[in-house]
């Protein structure tokens, strides 16, 4: 089970990361609201633990922006604010649960497991852009009725682009989403995988769905007119 923890208190973030890892979770941590938003949109997490008071973009905005982008990953707000209006605002922006600091670690784990169980029942199974579909559950990709065989990393790069379809995704964001922190990809590795994807999902079908944004990154479009 993969969990994103967005928390600017480095000590608390480290404690939560180690504790969740000991419970069998795969945990990614970031300390800034803007980065949390980018990761939440780009990667497939089973749950997000989101602080409210964050630099860059507060947790309410991150939550609202994730929901506006169609991300339905269960979100647990973790905050020192314990007023009923604070809780109501968090739930109104799209959060699924709310836990105040200081908190019981046993309760945090139990609530995360409950959110993940519910999330698996409600999360859209298939990502799509036009007739290009990607199913993270079965690890299968199709262009119309034709199945396309992808390597593990090709699948992850395409999933990153599909989760942010019609948006510009920087090379750094692709690396952040696909390569774990202990890996050090070569500078041109993203381009290598994007080229491989174009040969598989576009060229055989007369499409050009992955557009290169010069000096920035890529954008995947549904109509297949990218360059």
**pLDDT tens, position by position, 120-160:** 555 556 889 999 999 876 778 999 999 999 988 898 899 88
Residues 6+ apart with CB under 8 A from 76: 47, 48, 49, 50, 95, 96, 97, 98, 99, 108, 111, 112, 115
Residue 135, strand partner residues: 140
Residue from 165, 134, 169 nearest 148 by CA: 134
Model pLDDT, residue 88? 63
What SS3 class is residue 204? helix
**Is the predicted pLDDT of residue 93 greater than 80, yes or no?**
no
* pTM (predicted TM-score): 0.58
d(CA 183, CA 186): 10
């Amino acid at each position: 089970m993969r969990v994103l923890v967005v928390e600017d208190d480095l000590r608390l973030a480290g404690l939560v990361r180690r504790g969740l890892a000991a419970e069998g979770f795969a945990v990614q941590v970031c300390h800034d609201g803007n980065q949390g938003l980018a990761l939440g949109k780009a990667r497939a997490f089973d749950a997000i633990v989101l602080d409210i008071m964050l630099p860059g973009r507060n947790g309410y905005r991150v939550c609202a922006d994730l929901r506006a982008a169609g991300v339905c990953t269960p979100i647990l707000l973790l905050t020192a604010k314990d007023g009923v209006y604070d809780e109501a605002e968090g739930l109104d922006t799209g959060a699924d649960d709310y836990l105040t600091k200081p908190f019981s670690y046993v309760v945090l784990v139990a609530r995360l497991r409950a959110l993940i169980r519910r999330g698996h029942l409600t999360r859209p199974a298939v990502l799509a852009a036009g007739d290009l579909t990607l199913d993270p559950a079965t690890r299968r990709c199709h262009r119309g009725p034709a199945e396309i065989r992808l390597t593990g990393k090709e699948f992850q790069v395409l999933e990153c682009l599909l989760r942010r379809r019609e948006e510009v995704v920087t090379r750094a964001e692709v690396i952040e989403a696909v390569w774990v922190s202990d890996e050090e990809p070569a500078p041109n590795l993203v381009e290598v995988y994007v080229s491989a994807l174009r040969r598989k999902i576009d060229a055989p079908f007369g499409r050009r769905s992955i557009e290169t944004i010069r000096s920035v990154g890529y954008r995947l479009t549904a109509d297949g007119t990218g360059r």
